Structure 1
Amino acid sequence: MKTLRLIHRWTGGLIGLLLAVLGLTGTLLLHEDAYLRATVPHAADAQVQDTATLAAAAARIFAGPDRPRSIVLATQRLGLHKLAYKGEHAAYADQSGAIVQAWTSNWTRPEVWLFDLHHHLFNGDTGEVFGGVAGLAGLGFVGTGLWLWWPTRRMFHVRLWPRMAKRAAIVHHHRDLGALVAPLLILSLTTGATMNLKWFSDILRAPFTPPAVMKAASAPPKVKGGKLARDLDWAAVIGAAQARYPGAEVRVISLPAKPGGLIGVRLRQQAEWLPNGRTQAWFDPADGRLVATRDAQTLPLGSRIANLDYPLHAAKVGGLPYRLVMTVSGVTLTLLGTLTVVTFWGNPTGSLRRRKKAKTAAA
C-alpha cells in the first residue's frame, strides 16, 4: 500500500498538470456550439437539409478560386458550414454558401486552437500520442486512487472544495471527489485514449471483431475517378446520396484528395450517434455518378462500438443533460490534476521525511 501510494503521488505530481489542461480544454469544447452561436453571425440559424439549398451552397463554395477540400455541413445546434482548405486555412459559411469568417492560422479562432491543444497538444500526431498516453495514465490514477480510497471509505464526504487549505484536507477531498466521479472519469479517459491510440482501441474491440476485419470494412472503394467537372450537378450528387439513404442527414462533402480520387458524401442515419456519421456514398467527380456506398449500420460490431467513442467523449448525444454530466467530469479532472500538482510540488518529499522521522523515533 505504501509503495502504491508513493507511485500514485509521484506520477500524479509529474503529469497532473497535463491532465488538468486536458480536462479544462475538453470542458470548454463541450460548449463550443453555444459559444459560436453567441459570437458568429448566422451560427444560430436553423439547419436546412433540402437538396436544392445544399446543392446551391456546395456549387457556390466549390466554384470559388480557392476551393476548399471539404465542407462540414450545418447541424441542428450550429447553423454554419465549416470549410477546410490546405494547412490551417479554414472558414465558416452560412447555409447559402457565403463566407462569414475565414482564417489562415489556428490562433485566430479560440475554439480551433483549444481543439488543437486538447487533441494534439500543439504538436500534431506526436502530441496526439502523448495525449493518449496521458489518458491511460489517468485511468491508472483512477484505479490506484480507488484502491487507496477504499480503507478510508467510512470517512467519505461530498465536498466541491476542500474544507481547509491544508494538505491533509486537500488529500481527503481529492480521494473522495475522485471516488465519487470515478465512473465519469473512466468514461472520459477511456474514450479519449482509444481515439488517440489505435492499438489501444484495437485491443478493446478485438473480442468483438478482429482489427484486420475492421480495417478492411473501413477501406475506401478501389475505384478510380475522373477529373473533377467544372459544372458538376451537385443537386444530382446530393439527391442520389439522399435517395440511397432516405431520412439520413447529409453531413460532409469532400472533394478528391488526389488525382483519380472520388467525391465523398458522408451521411448520418438516425441510428448513428457519431455527429457526422459513418455512412458513406462515393461519386465519380467527372460526371457525378454514384460508384459505391457503405452503410454504417452494417459495419462489424467492433467498428460500430468504436464509432461511439467520440459522441460519448464529446457529449454529442444526450442533449444538454449529458453535456452537463461530462462538464462535471472535465471540471473534476481539472480540479484533481491541479490540486495534485499543488500539494505535491508544495512538499514533494515531505511524506518521505515523515516516514524517516517516524522510524528514527521508533528506534
Structure 2
Amino acid sequence: MKTLDTLHRWSGGLIGLVLALLGLTGAILVHKDAWIGLPHAGDPPNGDLATVAATTETLLALPGDPQGVIYATDRFGLHQLRFGEGAGLYADQSGAVVTRWASQWERPEIWIFDFHHHLFAGDSGEWVIGIAGLCGLFFVITGVILWWRTRATFKLRLWPKRLTRPAIVMQHRDLGVVVAPLLLLSVVTGTMMIFRPFAAIVVAPFGPVAETAKALEPPKYKGGPLAADPDYTAMLTEARRRFPTAQFRILSLPRKPGDAISLRMKQPEEWLPNGRTTLWFDAGTGKLLGVRDALAMPAGAQAFNMAYPLHAAKVGGLGYRLLMTVSGLALALLGSLTVWTFWFKRPKVVKRPTKTAALAST
C-alpha cells in the first residue's frame, strides 16, 4: 500500500498540472455555444435544402481558398467557414458574414479547443494528453483504493479547511472519491479518442476489434482535381435523397488533388454531434463515390462514436452539461492542489537529535 501511495503522489505531482488545465478548459468548452455571444448565434437551424444549398454555394465561392463548412446546429445558429492557417469566419444561415478572424488566437473558443485537444502542439500534444489520460485513470483507481483505508474519517469539503498539507490531502482524498465516477467517465472517453489501442480495449465487449477498426478507418477514394465550380447543390440534394431525416453537418473540400469531397451528416439516432454518416463525391465531376451509414456500422464502432458526445456533454441537455462541468472543475482543483502540495508543501524532514554518549566517570 505504501508503494501505491508513493506512485499516486509522484505521478500526481508530475502530471497533475496538465490534468488540471485540461479539466478547466473542458469545463469552459462544455458551455462554448452559450458564451460565444455573436449575432444570430441563437438562431434555430434551417434545414431547408434550397436554403442550405444556396448558402453553401455562396460561402464556398468566397475568396481565400476555403477548406469547408461546419453547418449550424440546434445550439449554435451560425455556419463556420474554415480557411488555412487557422483563419475562418462565422456566417448566418443566409450566408451573411458575421465575423472573421485571421488566426485562431482571435477566437477564444478555437484556441481553447486547440489547447484542450493538442496543447498547441499538434500530434505531439495529443500524445501528452493521452498519457495524462492514462495517468488520470490510474489516479482514480488508486485513489479509491487508498481512500478505503481512511473511509471512517470521511468528510466532504469543496475547499480545504486550511491551506496546510494535511488539510489539503484530506480534502483531496474525500472530494476525489465523491467525483470519481465523473472523473472516470471523463478520462476514459477522452483517452479513447486519443489512443485507439485503449479505445479498442474499451469497446472490445461490443464486437471483434478488427471489425471495429476497419469500420472506423476512412475509405480511400481517388478522383479528379477540384473543379473550378463544383455543383454543391447536386451533392447536397443526393445526400438528402439518401438520408432524408439527417442534418447536414460538415462539408470538407479535398486537401490535395485526387482526394474526395466529403459530406458528414447526423441522423436523429446518432449521438455524435457532427454525425458519422458520410458521403464522398469526386471533386472533379461531383459523382458519388461512396456512402457510410453510421447506423449500419458494427456495434463496436457505434460504441466508439459515443465517446465524444459523452466526453463533451453533447447529449443529456443542461443537466448532463452541469455534471461534466463539475467533473472538469473538480479535476482542475484536485490537480492544481496536488501539484502545489507536492512541490511547495512537502513535509519537512525532521532531523532527530543524536544521542551523545555519557561520559564515564572515573
Q: Decide: shared fold, TM above 0.5.
A: yes
* C-alpha distance in 2 between matches for 1:203 and 1:29: 27
AA paired with 2:81?
Answer: L
Q: Distance in 2 between matches of 1:249 and 1:55?
A: 13
For 1:307, the aligned partner's letter is N
Gaps (5+ residues) in structure 1? none
Indicate whether 1:30 and 2:6 are aligned.
no
Q: Which residue of 2 aligns with 1:224?
A: 222
* Aligned Cα root-mean-square deviation (Å): 2.0
187, 193, 196: which one aligns with 1:195:
193
Report if the CA contact (8 A) 2:260-2:280 is conserved: yes
1:110 to 108, 111, 125: 108
Alpha-carbon spacing, 1:69–1:347, altered in 2? closer, same or farther (3 Å): same
The answer on 1:244 being equivalent to 2:242 is yes
| Deviation string, structure 1 residues 27-74 (Cα, Å, up to 9, x no partner) | 1111110111x2x22212221111011101110011123231111100
Q: Taking structure 1 as the reference length, what is the TM-score of the superposition?
A: 0.92
Structure 1 equivalent of residue 179 of structure 2: 181
- Equivalent residue for 1:50? 48
Residue 332 of structure 2 corresponds to 334
Report runs of 4+ in structure 1 exceeding 6 Å deviation.
none
1:205 aligns with 2:209: no
Answer whether contact 2:60 2:68 (CA < 8 A) is retained: no
Aligned to 2:303: 305
**1:259 Cα deviation from its structure 2 partner:** 2.0
Partners in 1 of 2:33 and 2:257 — Cα distance?
Answer: 35
Pairing of 1:39-188 with structure 2 (within 5 A): 40-188=38-186
In 1: Cα distance, 2:315 partner to 2:106 partner: 29
SS of the equivalent of 1:264 reads strand
Aligned to 1:316: 314
Q: Is the 8 A contact 2:203 2:303 kept in 1?
A: yes
Shift of 1:220: 4.1
**What amino acid is the match of 1:228?**
L
In the alignment, structure 2 segments of 5+ residues that lack a partner are: 356-362
Q: CA deviation at 1:131?
A: 0.6
Identity of aligned residues (%): 54
1:4 is matched with 4
String of CA shifts for 1:81-125, please: whole Å, max 9, x gaps: 112222222221221223222222221111111111111111110
Distance 1:255 1:125, change over 3 A: same
Following TM superposition, by how much is the alpha carbon of 1:207 offset from its aligned partner in structure 2, in angstroms? 4.1
- After TM superposition, give the deviation of residue 321 of structure 1 in Å: 0.5
SS of the equivalent of 1:25 reads helix
2:359 alignment counterpart: none
Cα distance change, pair 43–241 in 1 and its aligned pair in 2 (3 A): same
Distance 1:143 1:260 in 2: 48
Distance across 1 between alignment mates of 2:99 and 2:198: 38
Retained in 1: the 8 A contact 2:272–2:306? yes
The question of whether the paired residues in 1 share the 8 Å contact of 2:249 and 2:263 is answered with: yes
Give the TM-score taking structure 2 as reference length.
0.92
Contact 1:214 1:300 in 2 (8 A): yes
Change (3 A) 1:150 1:87: same
Change (3 A) 1:169 1:348: closer
CA distance in 2, matches of 1:272, 1:204: 20
Give the Cα–Cα distance (whole angstroms) in 2 for the partners of residues 86 and 301 of structure 1.
36
Which residue type is aligned with residue 180 of structure 1? Answer: V
* 1:139 and 1:189 in contact (8 A); partners too: yes
Contact 2:164 2:345 in 1 (8 A): no
Q: 1:337-348 alignment to 2 at 5 Å? A: 337-348=335-346
After superposition, give the CA deviation of every residue in 1:118-151 in whole Å (9 maximum; x if it has no partner): 1111111001110110011011111111111101
For 2:180 and 2:191, the matched residues in 1 are separated by 16
Question: Is 129-138 or 282-291 further displaced after alignment?
Answer: 282-291
Equivalent pair of 1:61/1:67 in contact (CA under 8 Å): no
Distance 1:152 1:9 in 2: 16
Q: What whole-Å deviation, never above 9, does each CA across 1:294-318 have from its counterpart, x for those lacking one?
A: 1001112221111111100000001
